[in-house]
Copies of this chain bind each other. A is one copy, B any other.
């Protein structure tokens, strides 16, 4: 899984904390976590495209949350950055080689292996969808929020 997911989640958390200071340019966020600014920007762009962040161009521009933290699930962020494709890709190799001669009705049901993997992924997705940005805020020490706020205000 891309490290962009970690970056994106942390940035969303900061943007939720500091919504009153929004919009925040990517450079500030990059400084807050000591990340390469240009690459971080590339990672946040799909979040804007997905309607999680809203981008504002020009001076005093930057990114801000486009929804309330309660309506942004971890699944939303992961899907936006990683893309909607399933981690496990079934290429239907059962139909190749020896399976070439199989009757069509035999393949009416999806591949058992694919089904099993899909089930596991579904459990993963369910957990991610049940956790929102607001939950992350609740489970993060307030000292971190205050320190980040001071950091951003100081470099403003």
Which A residues lie at the B interface, using CB under 8 A? Answer: 1, 3, 5-7, 9-10, 13, 31-35, 74, 87-91, 93-94, 96-103, 106, 109, 112-113, 115-117, 119-128, 131, 135-136, 139-141, 143-144, 147-148, 151-152
- Chain B residues in 8 Å Cβ range of A34: 93, 96-97, 100
18 contacts between A and B (CB under 8 A): A1-B87, A1-B89, A9-B113, A10-B93, A10-B113, A13-B113, A33-B96, A33-B97, A35-B93, A87-B87, A99-B148, A101-B147, A102-B147, A112-B136, A116-B128, A116-B131, A120-B127, A122-B127
Determine which residue in A89, A93, A136, A148 has the highest number of CB atoms from chain B within 10 A of its CB, and name it.
A93
A44 → chain B closest CB, angstroms: 14
Q: Is the CB of A113 within 8 A of B94?
A: no
Alpha-carbon separation in the docked complex, A141 to B105 (Å): 11
**What is the chain B residue whose CB lies nearest that of A108?**
B141
Alpha-carbon separation in the docked complex, A113 to B155 (Å): 25
Instruction: Choose from B3, B89, B125 the contact partner of A3 (Cβ within 8 Å).
Output: B89
Alpha-carbon separation in the docked complex, A33 to B102 (Å): 13
Alpha-carbon separation in the docked complex, A88 to B127 (Å): 14
